[in-house]
Chain A
Amino acid sequence: MQNAALLPVAFEVVLLVGALLIILVAVVFERKLRYWGPIAGVTFLAAAGVGLLQWRDVAETGGGLFFSAQNESLVLSPMVVMDGFSAFAAIVLGLVGLVALLGAWDLVASVRQRSVEFVALMLLAVAGLHMMTATPNLVVIFIGLETASISFYILAGFIRRSKTSEESAMKYFLLGSLGSAMFLYGVALTFAATGSLSIYGENSIRNFFSVEIITEPGILLAGLALMLVGLFFKVSAAPFHQWAPDVYQGAPSGAVGLMAAGVKVAGFAALARIFISGFGAYIDTWAPIVAVIAALSMIVGTTVALVQTDFKRLLAYSGVAHAGYLLTTMVAGVEGIPAMWFYVSTYAFMIVGAFTVVSIVRGPTSGNAPIGSFKGLAKRSPETGWLLAIIMLGMSGMPFFAGFIGKVFAFVVAGEADYLWLVMVGTLTTVVGFAFYLRVVSTIFSSAEDDDERIEPSMSARFAVVISAVVTVVFGIVPWPLLDVVRDALPL
């Protein structure tokens, strides 16, 4: 195992060590927040730092494959890949985890003695998410997916006394498991068709396609379709999105941020890794399907969001639409990956910020969040109101906010790939989307009866929302640095 190195797996290792440390601290010392708050924060920061180190290393060495068995008797494909793609995912996931932790801190504080599990699960979930992006092996992707998913099922049902929380967790578990199962079945069929589980390396799927031509691709296509559907479930693309509104609405507001952001980042990274990198040879087969799902997601997500009265459901449906814009980048193949990264990395911060505001306004353990309860927010808590307005405009795709750059980038790459009809659908749904995002904005600024009832967000929640809004504005006005970075965030 001469190619075993620490750096490629350091992200997961750091998070695991952090999680274990927190549990140990909790066992040895009293179960007091003041210990594991900083530990978890430092862990996420360290993980993001590891991402930076990986990025630098990849820039110097070009990255590579790790943990492949060398001896004759044991033929194992490489288990870990380190490239610009995985390093960028590490940076984003580490920072999103940190912001989500800040945003969830009110919730952590309110569940008191059980908070240690909560924080540890957040760390584990992010480790699982990154595992999905940093491996060439389809089974390891599945393991990462399940690590993250199981953590999220528990987080969704964390408020045991709340029926909505339990319902949310149950729904998430049942439909999430269905998605996972389909993905795994797809992996199995792919293995049956190609004899390989790995995207890169000697006996990889890519090499298989370069030397063999499958004359009867039925099994392979079934495998591809099942993997696609499994991941569509996870990223809540229409028509596999029905779980998202219920889960988001029922789950405690503080916990939804990471759930919504992290799964999108890792889910799309996995989609890009598997389909663009692994099955790039079949792009003409899967891209039309992805395009149709993208259009469907944009249309369904946007139109159904129009009639939502609950802010969390609205965010869930808008998330479906965002899944559509992200899928739009996929049809462009490798060219689309930078656009995907730009979009998903900025969206992740926005959605965490949005759910943090929900947790500020409605309380961290709350389930429902009627839009009416955001009335007059700009007066009850001016900074929260303005910041949420910024985040909403960012999501809507207004110019000078990050969402706009992301959308135009997505449309340009899709246009380059001759999917102009998809660009048409995307721009039109963006317009319709303005209707509900602006409705939220004008609700924030409208007058309410209880204007005097001030809302004082906690320090950590305030911090999370500020970071989220800053990302939205900065990468909306000066997106060039990030655009330069994502251009290098490509898979091997």
Chain B
Amino acid sequence: MPILSILIALPLIGALIVALVPRRRPELVLPIALVVSIPPLVAASYVLWNFAVGDASFQFTEHVVLVESFGISWSLAVDGISLFMVVLTALLFPLSIAASRSITEQVKTYMVLMLILETGVLGVFLSLDLFVFFAFFEIVLIPMYLLISMWGSDNRAYAALKFVLFTAVGSAFLLVSIVALAVITGDQMGTFANFDFRNVLQADLSTTTQYWLFGGFAIAFAIKVPLFPFHTWLPDAHTEAPTAGSVILAGVLLKMGTYGFLRFNLTLFPEATVDFAVPLAILAVIGIVYGAAVAIVQPDIKRLVAYSSVSHMGFVILGIFALTTQGMTGSVVTMISHGLTTGALFLLIGMIYERTHTRRIADYGGLAKIVPIYSGFFLFAVFASAGLPGLSGFVGEFTILIGSYLTLPVLTIIAASGVILAAIYLLWAYERVFTGPVVNPKLEGLRDLGFREVAIMVPLVVLIIGLGVYPKPVFERIEPSVGIILERIEATTGYIVPERGTPEGVVDVHYGQVSESPDHEEEGG
């Protein structure tokens, strides 16, 4: 059974069903959209359930050649990295759809666009053919653009266009690199061009070529992540987007960038990866600190969360370019965790915004007394995002820091300050919004969360705790796939992945031997 093709097709079929809802029955649109967004989640769960643990190779592979001469194929597969992105996507869409009750204008178009968006995102995470990957990567822009520009808040036209232009500029570099890569691969295989990931992997690329292609891919993904200094589109887009748009943007669209780095940059261009790792890690650390610092002073709560994304995604990039098993595994875990926690935060902000129509922190105060359930959920999400041990955020970022300390100790120390800054901006925002006296009379008599809203939040809460307390099932699925990337880097370059606990000059715990480094005695003493 081509489960992955089915998985990609299901939201599209759902979109068709939603499109067929009669014009006179707009109230049916949301329930139907919610129902049709469940099958993709079921299919994704099926894939998760049947995923062979410990197997590093691609699973559930599907391969149909579409154009022989161009080497374009419909080639899908999951590995430990894409698996969780797919599940996260399939999970966040039903939640965002359920949270979209405040959309009253053109609901049908809205839901159709959401479901098309889901197809696009799933396609990005599942495609192994560069051509098809690029097609999905690019098509995601259209529904997102329309979601922001039609249902966003005041400054939506500007934000939507900025989002598209930034991302599309990146895509342009990506497309040029993909075309160049396909042509080179084709030349070496004796065909016109070849876009298939597994063939591209075999291509013999000179170091200079790798630099250029790595650069092209990296710009596209860095804008998507977004990595400092390409992040300026993100606060605008996140802030102006409707709630569901923000959730999907932060929850899954940003991950397309980090996923792209893992899947393509690191795998296809190992030499360039090793040479560019430190500059990219530096940018990541700047992003961590800068994003967090800017988040502290934001007067708009949604903008604050948006900037926190810049900081969190910086951690992910740092973990990836630390080039250690722990760092990369931690990055994937943080990608999952960030999707859950930021998704929860945006959903919660959306819920209060529906009631008060303001996002300014200064307009709030003392909410905890008025809406205790809401405040409880918000505090939980704040703790999860700030990395409280026992919740998902901690697991990911802690693993990243462990991993990156092995190769980039100085940067890691600076990056660790991001964790503290996160606590500052999140808890200070919580303090201003939820504690103290109720200053704003409009807040009196606010309705607390209803059953529907609690039902939206509960799955996220459960998963955040689950991932925080028992992350082993996630780790053991990610690690082999990450390991294979590092193995390839080791095999093709002079780089050696440091073992955990055995940096140079330290007692090798594994074998109980003492390394020959001269400064051993100082360390030992």
Instruction: Give the interface of A toward B (CB within 8 A).
Output: 378, 393, 398-400, 404, 408, 411-412, 415-416, 420, 423-424, 427-428, 430-432, 434-435, 438-439, 441-442, 445-447, 479-480, 483, 487
Q: Are B192 and A416 in contact (CB under 8 A)?
A: yes
Q: Are B172 and A427 in contact (CB under 8 A)?
A: yes
Q: Are B135 and A400 in contact (CB under 8 A)?
A: yes
Q: Are B183 and A415 in contact (CB under 8 A)?
A: yes
Residues on B with beta carbons closer than 8 Å to the beta carbon of A430: 168, 172
Among A399, A420, A432, A487, contact of B139 (Cβ-Cβ < 8 Å): A399
Known: A393-B142, A431-B171. A442 touches B160 (CB 8 A): yes
Alpha-carbon distance between A323 and B146 when the two chains are bound, in angstroms: 28
Most buried by A among B136, B160, B168, B182: B168
Residues on B with beta carbons closer than 8 Å to the beta carbon of A447: 105
Min CB–CB distance B85 → chain A (angstroms): 20
Chain B stretch 154-192: residues in CB contact (< 8 A) with chain A: 157, 160-161, 164-165, 168-169, 171-173, 175-176, 179-180, 182-183, 192
Q: Are B150 and A404 in contact (CB under 8 A)?
A: no
B131 adjacent to chain A (CB < 8 Å):
yes
What 1/0 mask marks residues of chain B from 415 to 435 whose CB sits below 8 Å from any chain A CB?
000000000000000000000
Min CB–CB distance B114 → chain A (angstroms): 15
Q: Are A435 and B165 in contact (CB under 8 A)?
A: yes
Most buried by B among A399, A445, A487: A399
Q: Are B192 and A404 in contact (CB under 8 A)?
A: no
Residues on B with beta carbons closer than 8 Å to the beta carbon of A378: 109
Alpha-carbon distance between A439 and B150 when the two chains are bound, in angstroms: 12
Among B70, B105, B149, contact of A412 (Cβ-Cβ < 8 Å): B70
Among B131, B164, B179, contact of A434 (Cβ-Cβ < 8 Å): B164
Known: A399-B139, A415-B180, A438-B161. A428 touches B169 (CB 8 A): yes
Q: Are A442 and B134 in contact (CB under 8 A)?
A: no
Residues on B with beta carbons closer than 8 Å to the beta carbon of A400: 135, 139
Beyond contacts A416-B193, A442-B149, A446-B150: 4 other A-B pairs, Cβ-Cβ < 8 A, are A398-B138, A399-B139, A404-B135, A415-B179
Min CB–CB distance B390 → chain A (angstroms): 43
Q: Are A435 and B161 in contact (CB under 8 A)?
A: yes
The 14 listed contacts between A and B (C-beta, < 8 Å) are A399-B135, A399-B138, A399-B139, A408-B175, A411-B176, A423-B179, A428-B169, A430-B168, A434-B141, A435-B164, A438-B161, A438-B164, A445-B109, A447-B105
B493 adjacent to chain A (CB < 8 Å):
no
Residues on A with beta carbons closer than 8 Å to the beta carbon of B168: 430-431, 434
Residues on A with beta carbons closer than 8 Å to the beta carbon of B146: 441-442, 445
Alpha-carbon distance between A480 and B171 when the two chains are bound, in angstroms: 24
Residues on A with beta carbons closer than 8 Å to the beta carbon of B145: 438, 442
Residues on A with beta carbons closer than 8 Å to the beta carbon of B171: 427, 431
Min CB–CB distance B204 → chain A (angstroms): 18
B66 adjacent to chain A (CB < 8 Å):
yes
Q: Are A412 and B179 in contact (CB under 8 A)?
A: yes
B69 adjacent to chain A (CB < 8 Å):
yes
Residues on A with beta carbons closer than 8 Å to the beta carbon of B149: 442
B20 adjacent to chain A (CB < 8 Å):
no
Residues on A with beta carbons closer than 8 Å to the beta carbon of B106: 445
B1 adjacent to chain A (CB < 8 Å):
no
- Name which residue of chain A comes closest to B140, CB basis: A399
Instruction: Give the interface of B toward A (CB within 8 A).
Output: 66-67, 69-70, 105-106, 109, 131, 134-136, 138-139, 141-142, 145-146, 149-150, 157, 160-161, 164-165, 168-169, 171-173, 175-176, 179-180, 182-183, 192-193
- Name which residue of chain B comes closest to A397, CB basis: B138
Alpha-carbon distance between A445 and B139 when the two chains are bound, in angstroms: 18
Alpha-carbon distance between A435 and B149 when the two chains are bound, in angstroms: 13
Known: A399-B136, A434-B164, A435-B161. A416 touches B183 (CB 8 A): yes
Q: Are B176 and A423 in contact (CB under 8 A)?
A: yes
- Name which residue of chain B comes closest to A414, CB basis: B179
Q: Are B179 and A442 in contact (CB under 8 A)?
A: no
Q: Are B169 and A420 in contact (CB under 8 A)?
A: no
Q: Are A420 and B67 in contact (CB under 8 A)?
A: no
Alpha-carbon distance between A480 and B182 when the two chains are bound, in angstroms: 18
Alpha-carbon distance between A95 and B192 when the two chains are bound, in angstroms: 30
Known: A445-B146, A487-B69. A427 touches B176 (CB 8 A): yes
- Name which residue of chain B comes closest to A429, CB basis: B172
Min CB–CB distance B435 → chain A (angstroms): 41
Q: Are A442 and B150 in contact (CB under 8 A)?
A: yes
Min CB–CB distance A430 → chain B (angstroms): 7
Min CB–CB distance A413 → chain B (angstroms): 9
Known: A416-B183, A483-B67. A408 touches B131 (CB 8 A): yes
Q: Are B179 and A408 in contact (CB under 8 A)?
A: yes
Most buried by B among A434, A479, A487: A434
Alpha-carbon distance between A408 and B180 when the two chains are bound, in angstroms: 11
Residues on B with beta carbons closer than 8 Å to the beta carbon of A442: 145-146, 149-150, 157, 160
- Name which residue of chain B comes closest to A434, CB basis: B168
Q: Are A411 and B175 in contact (CB under 8 A)?
A: yes
Q: Are A480 and B172 in contact (CB under 8 A)?
A: no
Residues on A with beta carbons closer than 8 Å to the beta carbon of B175: 408, 411, 427
Q: Are A398 and B179 in contact (CB under 8 A)?
A: no
Residues on A with beta carbons closer than 8 Å to the beta carbon of B150: 442, 445-446
Residues on B with beta carbons closer than 8 Å to the beta carbon of A483: 67, 70
Known: A434-B165, A442-B150. A412 touches B182 (CB 8 A): yes
Alpha-carbon distance between A400 and B172 when the two chains are bound, in angstroms: 16
Min CB–CB distance A408 → chain B (angstroms): 7
- Name which residue of chain A comes closest to B171, CB basis: A431
Alpha-carbon distance between A378 and B110 when the two chains are bound, in angstroms: 13
- Name which residue of chain A comes closest to B113, CB basis: A445
Residues on A with beta carbons closer than 8 Å to the beta carbon of B160: 442
Alpha-carbon distance between A399 and B67 when the two chains are bound, in angstroms: 16
Alpha-carbon distance between A420 and B141 when the two chains are bound, in angstroms: 25
Residues on A with beta carbons closer than 8 Å to the beta carbon of B161: 435, 438-439
Alpha-carbon distance between A480 and B180 when the two chains are bound, in angstroms: 21
- Name which residue of chain A comes closest to B183, CB basis: A415
Min CB–CB distance B72 → chain A (angstroms): 9
Q: Are B165 and A398 in contact (CB under 8 A)?
A: no
Residues on A with beta carbons closer than 8 Å to the beta carbon of B66: 480
Alpha-carbon distance between A424 and B174 when the two chains are bound, in angstroms: 10
Min CB–CB distance B179 → chain A (angstroms): 5
Q: Are B164 and A428 in contact (CB under 8 A)?
A: no
Alpha-carbon distance between A445 and B149 when the two chains are bound, in angstroms: 10
Q: Which 4 A-B pairs have the closest CB atoms?
A: A399-B135, A427-B172, A431-B168, A399-B139
Min CB–CB distance B288 → chain A (angstroms): 29
Alpha-carbon distance between A378 and B431 when the two chains are bound, in angstroms: 45
Min CB–CB distance B235 → chain A (angstroms): 20
Residues on B with beta carbons closer than 8 Å to the beta carbon of A415: 179-180, 183
Q: Are B67 and A480 in contact (CB under 8 A)?
A: yes
Min CB–CB distance A51 → chain B (angstroms): 24
Residues on B with beta carbons closer than 8 Å to the beta carbon of A416: 183, 192-193
Min CB–CB distance A383 → chain B (angstroms): 12
